[in-house]
């Protein structure tokens, strides 16, 4: 009986469908930005639209320009390891307001659990043609285990798991993919390693710090994948090389 | 009936003892080959890192960080070696030793900037309730040469000793020469 229930859960998850443009963001023509927003189910459809569009607008504001501040400190004395990662994302309020006033929703989709919105900025530019098919998550894509590399773009992969709320899962996975991308661009690494040797044993003390403070432009989440069997969320960010600036050294 | 009660009492004890084993360990077959034997390349440094955490995101962060830390440590050795060779060849000799970065058997201090150090491979394996992340970081040696030159520009004290004998362009040539030798 348990097996049958498990099979039913798995098959219903495997065939869970999402809009194709949420899984793979379509390529926008130069000067045009596309972004997706996702919400849970609301009784009032208008509330879902407001929240979904707000998330998509925020995503375009970050695409235009975002400050990423990352710091990871690790202390270890041979017995304990204390790691403290700090992530901070800052985007321009001016951009947000402008996008909020000059965007248009070009597609939306509703599934059993979520509402999806695809917006375009600026609104006056010609609407980008997108396919509004619902698709399944399918097989695990190769970019998760082997992140892509080419001469034009930096890539970053974000991953989180076991989130109660799908929307929060995607939000964190997207943000982590940007921070991961930042580390591929520029990273300061400091490391102190001390070994105290006595007759019979060695104690190793290490202090390690990795940090960066960057402003990146034109970075967007191009692909997403959800592992239905293990409840894992993956996002792939892409950013044109040389479209960044290093802000300050700590 | 008594036997049944004894068995009933032993079951929780057995379960308790089973949980005393600490974190589950990865089976050897589950460990990616590139983690045990990181690939070698003439034009890049590759180092692996891993981490086991309850949070998948944190496991990935920690594994990436450890792989990059390993790269930074490898680079520091290479950079020091490049400087040392340069100082000896530029005629400064023993003074170079005094000006080197603090480095000894007991204490190692590294401080580097990694530009373009990316994670080439990654794997995530569930182990009980934990996530075991494996990362392979790759750093292009051209970036290392560039960073060494930048570091040389910053290390005024080190450089001032040498510039009477060798122009900066020559230093660049020297580093390139060392790079070619390594390749």
Beta strands of chain A (E only): which ranges?
17-19, 33-40, 66-76, 81-91, 104-110, 114-121, 134-136, 153-161, 186-197, 202-216, 220-227, 232-240, 244-246
Residue B57 and residue A83: Cβ atoms within 8 Å? Answer: no
The beta-carbon neighbor of B72 closest among A145, A155, A189 is: A189
What is the pLDDT at residue A74? 85
If you write DSSP's letter for every residue of B6-64 in order, what string do you get? HHHHHHHHHHHHHGGG-SPPPPGGGS-HHHHS---BTTEEEEEEEEEESSHHHHHHHHH
Q: Poorest-confidence range of A30-44, A173-187, B76-90?
A: B76-90
Residue given tokens 């890049």 in the structure block: B44
What is the pLDDT at residue A218? 94
Which chain B residues are Cβ-neighbours of A196 within 8 angstroms?
106
What is the pLDDT at residue A89? 94
pLDDT band at B25 (very low <50, low <70, confident <90, very high): low
A108: number of Cβ within 10 Å: 18
Task: Evaluate whether A94 touches A147 at the Cβ level (below 8 Å).
Answer: no
Residue given tokens 């990273």 in the structure block: A187
Chain segment B124-177, per-residue pLDDT in tens: 998 888 899 999 999 988 777 776 666 666 655 455 555 544 555 655 666 666
How far is it, in rounded angstroms, from Cα A23 to Cα A224?
5
Residue B114 and residue A145: Cβ atoms within 8 Å? Answer: no
Q: Is B77 on the interface with A (CB under 8 A)?
A: no
- CA B137 from centroid of its chain's CA atoms: 8
Give the percent of chain B with pLDDT over 90: 17
Enumerate residues 6+ apart whose C-beta is below 8 A from A249: A188, A213
Predicted confidence (pLDDT) at residue A73 exceeds the cutoff of 90? no
What is the pLDDT at residue B82? 56
Chain segment A20-32, per-residue pLDDT in tens: 999 999 999 999 9
Residue A72 and residue B65: Cβ atoms within 8 Å? Answer: yes
How far is it, in rounded angstroms, from Cα A40 to Cα A226?
16
Q: Chain B closest CA to A97's CA: distance in Å?
A: 32
Chain segment B50-66, per-residue pLDDT in tens: 998 888 988 998 899 98
How far is it, in rounded angstroms, from Cα A75 to Cα A73?
7
Which chain A residues are Cβ-neighbours of B110 within 8 angstroms?
189-192
For the residues A133-140, what does the mean pLDDT come to?
93
Taking the CA atoms of chain A, what radius of gyration do you get in angstroms?
21
Phi, psi of A243 (to 5 degrees): -100, 55
What is the pLDDT at residue A148? 93
Residue B55 and residue A161: Cβ atoms within 8 Å? Answer: yes
Q: Is B121 on the interface with A (CB under 8 A)?
A: yes
ipTM above 0.90, yes or no: no
Residue B114 and residue A186: Cβ atoms within 8 Å? Answer: yes
Predicted confidence (pLDDT) at residue A71 exceeds the cutoff of 50? yes
Residue A184 and residue B126: Cβ atoms within 8 Å? Answer: no
How far is it, in rounded angstroms, from Cα A120 to Cα A122?
6
What is the pLDDT at residue A82? 73
Minimum CA–CA partner of A205 in chain B: B107
What is the pLDDT at residue A83? 75
Q: Chain B closest CA to A152's CA: distance in Å?
A: 13
Chain segment A142-167, per-residue pLDDT in tens: 999 999 998 899 999 999 998 989 99
Chain segment A74-126, per-residue pLDDT in tens: 888 766 677 778 899 999 999 999 999 999 999 999 998 899 999 999 999 98
- More confident call, B143 vs B20: B143
What is the pLDDT at residue A2? 56
Residue B113 and residue A149: Cβ atoms within 8 Å? Answer: no
Give the percent of chain B with pLDDT over 70: 47
How far is it, in rounded angstroms, from Cα A119 to Cα A52?
10
**Helix, coil or strand: residue B4:** helix
Predicted confidence (pLDDT) at residue B8 exceeds the cutoff of 70? no
pLDDT band at A52 (very low <50, low <70, confident <90, very high): very high
Enumerate residues 6+ apart whose C-beta is below 8 A from A14: A136, A137, A228
Chain segment A198-239, per-residue pLDDT in tens: 666 777 788 888 999 999 999 999 999 999 998 999 999 999
What is the pLDDT at residue B84? 52
Predicted confidence (pLDDT) at residue A59 exceeds the cutoff of 60? yes
């Amino acid at each position: 009986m348990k097996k049958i229930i498990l099979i039913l859960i798995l098959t219903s998850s495997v065939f869970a469908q999402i809009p194709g443009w949420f899984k793979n963001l379509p390529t926008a023509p130069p000067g045009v930005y596309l972004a997706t927003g996702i919400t849970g189910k609301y009784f009032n459809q208008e509330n879902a639209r407001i929240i979904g569009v707000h998330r998509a607008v925020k995503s375009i504001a970050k695409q235009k320009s975002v400050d990423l501040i990352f710091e990871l400190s690790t202390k270890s004395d041979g017995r304990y390891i204390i790691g403290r990662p700090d992530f901070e994302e800052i985007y321009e309020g001016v951009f947000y307001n402008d996008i909020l006033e000059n965007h248009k929703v070009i597609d939306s989709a509703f599934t059993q659990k979520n509402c999806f919105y695809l917006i375009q900025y600026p609104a006056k530019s010609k609407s980008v043609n997108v396919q509004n098919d619902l698709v399944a998550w399918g097989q695990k894509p190769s970019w998760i285990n082997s992140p892509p590399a080419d001469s034009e773009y930096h890539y970053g992969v974000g991953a989180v798991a076991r989130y109660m709320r799908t929307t929060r899962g995607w939000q964190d996975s997207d943000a982590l993919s940007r921070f991961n991308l930042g580390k591929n661009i520029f990273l300061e690494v400091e490391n102190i390693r001390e070994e105290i040797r006595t007759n019979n044993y060695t104690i190793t003390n290490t202090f390690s710090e990795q940090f960066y403070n960057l402003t990146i432009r034109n970075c967007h989440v191009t692909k997403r994948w959800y592992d239905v069997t293990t409840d894992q969320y993956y996002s792939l960010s892409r950013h044109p090389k040389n479209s960044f600036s290093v802000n300050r050294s700590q | 009936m008594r036997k049944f009660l004894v068995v009933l009492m032993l079951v929780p004890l057995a379960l308790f003892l089973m949980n005393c084993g600490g974190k589950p360990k990865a089976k050897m077959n589950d460990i990616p080959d590139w983690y045990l034997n990181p690939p070698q390349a003439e034009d890049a440094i590759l180092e692996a890192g891993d981490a086991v955490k309850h949070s998948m995101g944190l496991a990935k962060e920690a594994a990436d960080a450890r792989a990059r830390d390993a790269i930074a440590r490898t680079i520091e050795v290479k950079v020091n070696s490049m400087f040392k060779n340069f100082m000896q060849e530029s005629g400064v000799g023993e003074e170079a030793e005094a000006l080197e970065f603090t480095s000894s058997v007991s204490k190692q201090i590294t401080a580097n900037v990694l530009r373009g150090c990316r994670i080439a491979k990654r794997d995530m394996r569930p182990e009980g309730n934990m996530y075991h992340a494996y990362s392979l970081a790759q750093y292009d040696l051209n970036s290392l040469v560039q960073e060494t030159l930048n570091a040389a520009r910053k290390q005024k004290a080190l450089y001032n000793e040498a510039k009477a004998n060798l122009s900066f362009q020559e230093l660049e040539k020297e580093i390139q020469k060392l790079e070619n030798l390594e390749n």
